[in-house]
Structure 1
């Protein structure tokens, strides 16, 4: 069995192993990490040999830590990361490079239609009718997008939303509310087979699916990192938030979508969203404005060029061909947009 895991802000760990009589055998750990002394790699392999196949990633990490020489120095490698790579091998997880990715970047669409397209495209990936897909969104109007379990009245100021012509919709994933305006944010979705995140915890899957965009930001001179559970941050503050939805139909699929701040109107945002003191204190800030750190200021690049560079970085890592929403997918999405995502019953299902 073979498993790979790119440690967040670290290096790639590769594990090859056999399973015999319910335990790990012939374990070999490799990768582009740094490790001293040399014999530490042998200690890691030996610590994993004989481990029951039911051992979870923390349990495997504990075996490794107990076996390492006291003088061991790891760079780009963690015991926990090795444990995750082992679990991915046992789960027969797939890798990014196993797929022919499709990239979609189309004309601006309504908030309700974007919500519907996420559901339809991810369902098509789960059914095996569509390859893994990166879709970059364009907005045709300002909107607030509520997390699936958020209270409408607690999150949105209706007077502010009406005054600024802001639509309110609810997405199928959890997490917090997003305030978006055309050309002020960069939003994208990854619709991927469940096997791509096999062996990863829910939290680990966020970091794993965000890794490519951290590299893309790095190429633009931004030192960004994953901040558990679902944020992307820099020294200047939060620049993006992610959310996920798991679909269990077919072979399963994961929807992972991210909204990045490019040039948010913070004054308008606080008039539309009810951003409470407790939420702000959780972010270590005193004002809502400090929570928004535009990519425009950090990159000095036009929004369109930031998107172009992000897509270019993705292609360089994993390939990908230009694609489009099919007529059948669009018809289904339009139906959902009208009857589900535009309905008061769905938007206010948590009043």
Structure 2
């Protein structure tokens, strides 16, 4: 019954998009965004995909600080940035990734508890004692088996996640550079000790394709208005164009790290906010926000507001007066945010 309760809650009608066995992460992320921006409003879509070994970087992260570049180069691991927030994750052929693409609904935004509840209930019914902990992770015996993230435009949104089914967990630690602040905040010593595969907990063994087919078959059986859709040749051309122009580009996946002379970082309940500021003659010449936080609006807007302002507490407060920081970073206190920008070094 995996995802069936969720599907019933999301919509009466659900269209399943066939990705036709594509394992290229650049193309799969392009497909997801293409559906979000080009398919009809008023319809809900479900997409499954399985990627080749890859690191999927969160929208606001500094790629070079999240990955083990030498290992990735030596082993041909893809590096692709997604448009949703959150942290970097490792994908391989043992990960089943899912995406629900719907009309925008403010009540669903960052509502991971409601979103993951059907998955947790179903896994519990299968004998897997799963629970939501932290912001967006599903855990079994304090080990992570799923991470989730969201993205929203003005009219549409998607909620997507990865299910660690039979992933090569040793590659997670080799490919990623896990920051000490994250390890300390979670109270764990290593990446390997914090993640596990669903297959380890299932009473009936199966491979990932069987797992995927079982989900799809059950959805077909239970959903009266559930149907499959294959993209047209013209639509695939649009997806491939998006891949070439965005997801296949170094500037999108890595981006240039800015020059800075002030570095401020703090881990909040909503995630880590990492600020790089270049101050010249007392004025903010450039500013960049990094982190694994979830926000609806692009942080580039705040960067633009602060650029050119004096690096002064009063002027920073004045510039941020009309700004709702929750829209950009999630539920973080505005005064704490100002303190991070310009406050005591010990924060």
User: TM-score w.r.t. structure 2 length?
Assistant: 0.65
Task: Give the SS at the match of 2:201.
Answer: helix
> Using a 3 Å threshold, how does the CA distance of structure 1 residues 137 and 350 change in structure 2: closer, same or farther?
farther
Would you say the 8 A contact 2:14–2:45 is kept in 1?
no
Match of 1:260 in 2: 163
Match of 2:100 in 1: 190
Is residue 301 from structure 1 mapped to residue 206 from structure 2 by the alignment? Answer: yes
Would you say the 8 A contact 1:113–1:334 is kept in 2?
yes
Would you say the 8 A contact 1:104–1:133 is kept in 2?
no
Match of 1:169 in 2: 80
- Structure 2 counterpart of 1:114, from 18, 28, 49: 28
Match of 2:187 in 1: 284
> Using a 3 Å threshold, how does the CA distance of structure 1 residues 103 and 224 change in structure 2: closer, same or farther?
farther
Q: 2-side partners of 1:223 and 1:313: how far apart? A: 21
- Structure 1 counterpart of 2:43, from 114, 123, 131: 131
Q: 2-side partners of 1:209 and 1:103: how far apart? A: 20
Q: 1-side partners of 2:14 and 2:200: how far apart? A: 34
Would you say the 8 A contact 2:147–2:161 is kept in 1?
yes
Q: Measure how far apart 1:301 and its partner are.
A: 2.6
> Using a 3 Å threshold, how does the CA distance of structure 1 residues 318 and 233 change in structure 2: closer, same or farther?
farther
Match of 2:175 in 1: 272
Task: Give the SS at the match of 1:203.
Answer: coil
Q: 1-side partners of 2:50 and 2:229: how far apart? A: 15
Give the aligned length: 249
Would you say the 8 A contact 2:30–2:243 is kept in 1?
yes
Deviations 1:198-252 (A, max 9, x none): 4x16332x2333333334423432122233421112224111101111011xxx1
Q: 1-side partners of 2:217 and 2:88: how far apart? A: 29
Q: Measure how far apart 1:187 and its partner are.
A: 0.7
Match of 1:342 in 2: 248
Match of 1:101 in 2: 15
Would you say the 8 A contact 2:246–2:252 is kept in 1?
yes
Deviations 1:305-340 (A, max 9, x none): 222333345446645212223333211110011111
Deviations 1:136-185 (A, max 9, x none): 1022x311110011111110111010111101110111111111112x21
Deviations 1:3-32 (A, max 9, x none): xxxxxxxx99xxxxxxxxxxxxxxxxxxxx
User: TM-score w.r.t. structure 1 length?
Assistant: 0.65
Q: 2-side partners of 1:311 and 1:215: how far apart? A: 18
Q: Measure how far apart 1:296 and its partner are.
A: 1.4
Q: 2-side partners of 1:120 and 1:316: how far apart? A: 28
Task: Give the SS at the match of 1:256.
Answer: strand
Match of 2:236 in 1: 330
Equivalent residue runs for 1:49-60 within 5 Å: none
Equivalent residue runs for 1:13-32 within 5 Å: none
Q: 1-side partners of 2:53 and 2:220: how far apart? A: 30
Unaligned runs of 5+ in 2: 258-347
Unaligned runs of 5+ in 1: 1-10, 13-93
Is residue 210 from structure 1 mapped to residue 116 from structure 2 by the alignment? Answer: yes
